[in-house]
Amino acid sequence: MFSALVIEKPETGQTVTRKSLQDTDLPDGNVTVDVEYSTLNFKDALAITGRSPVVRKFPMVPGIDIAGVVADSSHERWSKGDRVVLNGWGVGETHWGGLAQRARIDGDWLVPLPEAFTTRQAMAIGTAGYTASLCVDALVAFGIAPDQGDILVTGATGGVGSVAVALLAKAGFSVTAATGKTSEADYLTSLGATAVLDRAELSAAGKPLQKERWAGVVDTAGSHTLANACAQTRYGGAVAACGLAQGMDFPASVAPFILRGVSLLGIDSVMAPHPRRTAAWDRLARDLDASALDAIAHEVGLEEAIGAAGKLMDGNVRGRIVVDVNR
């Protein structure tokens, strides 16, 4: 027997409860993992609160992140006792996820957990931190270098933004952190930000072209924030877009792209190929200070994750929520 959060949707409406399940209840897969920690991402909060139709079939165990130890495997890459991490691949949406003490998944979805991290630290990073690393990798691969100017990170007190600030600072960039929580300036500077910007300066409609400010951008917001970030990016710069916290719309013009040669880099974390995933985790292991994880994350138990999801949706969470599924 093991415990799991289970989302069900009878005709009377969605419910989320902690239930006791058996291995025979688990979905198909060639690797069974003893989950030690999971986490709450924005997508998990949408699923648990039911505020968006993230879950594609019911019943569903949410949790798009898993960190644990292989309990059983018929996959050639994995053996019992291997430490593994999983991000995305539709887990928690179409396939049972990590907010449970046990998970059965496709071994192709797993990557080895770097020796630098415990399973708890891996979930302090989670999909949010892994996505941040994908963004930094994309900017660096594009050719953005520290001597070219400041990097803007939007939604900087969130999970993606917090890790992006820390990784960019470690890589030598001067980082401006945009947030609606200007009271968190000390937190952001402790992660490595050199300046803090009120998100209100970016969140309203702006001109198609504005003063050139940024060599590169990591944007988690979308909508007007992304449009303004593009309009303020310097000639030849790049914007890595990975989120839609403000909205899915993009009320912009082509002016930054055809007059300044700005490039918009789309960052997908869910279906990213294995080499890109391992490269992102390698950067995290190399450049993310483990002490920063203590500042970024706080921990809740499995059942507490239900209430924490509501707080995350309401914008009342700083950094990352780690879920100890065994308490």
List, for residues 60-114, the tens digit of each pLDDT value: 999 999 999 999 999 999 999 999 999 999 999 999 999 999 999 999 999 999 9
Q: How far apart are CA 136 and CA 274, in angstroms?
A: 17
The confidence band for 13, taking pLDDT boundaries of 50, 70 and 90, is: confident
Q: Which 3 state secondary structure label does DSSP give 118?
A: coil
pLDDT at 291 over 90: no
Task: Tell me which CATH code domain 2-113+292-324 carries.
Answer: 3.90.180.10
List, for residues 245-279, the tens digit of each pLDDT value: 899 999 999 999 999 999 999 999 999 999 999 99
Task: Kindly report the number of other CB atoms within 10 A of residue 15's CB atom.
Answer: 13
Amino acid letter for position 2? F
Q: How far apart are CA 112 and CA 167, in angstroms?
A: 20
C-alpha distances out from residue 57 to 9, 10, 105, 288, Å: 9, 12, 16, 36
pLDDT at 34 over 90: yes
Task: Tell me which CATH code domain 127-266 carries.
Answer: 3.40.50.720
pLDDT at 158 over 90: no
pLDDT at 124 over 80: yes
**Contact 188/157 with Cβ under 8 angstroms?**
yes
Q: Which 3 state secondary structure label does DSSP give 294?
A: helix
> Where in the chain are the domains?
2-113+292-324, 127-266
Residue range 128-155: average pLDDT? Answer: 97
What is the pLDDT at residue 53? Answer: 83
What is the pLDDT at residue 289? Answer: 82
Task: Give the count of alpha carbons within 13 A of 249, CB side only.
Answer: 7
Kindly tell me the burial class for residue 231, based on how many C-beta atoms sit within 10 Å of its own C-beta (0-12, 13-18, 19 or more): buried
- The count of residues in the chain is 327
What is the pLDDT at residue 159? Answer: 85
Q: How far apart are CA 219 and CA 178, in angstroms?
A: 10
What is the pLDDT at residue 324? Answer: 97
Amino acid letter for position 86? L
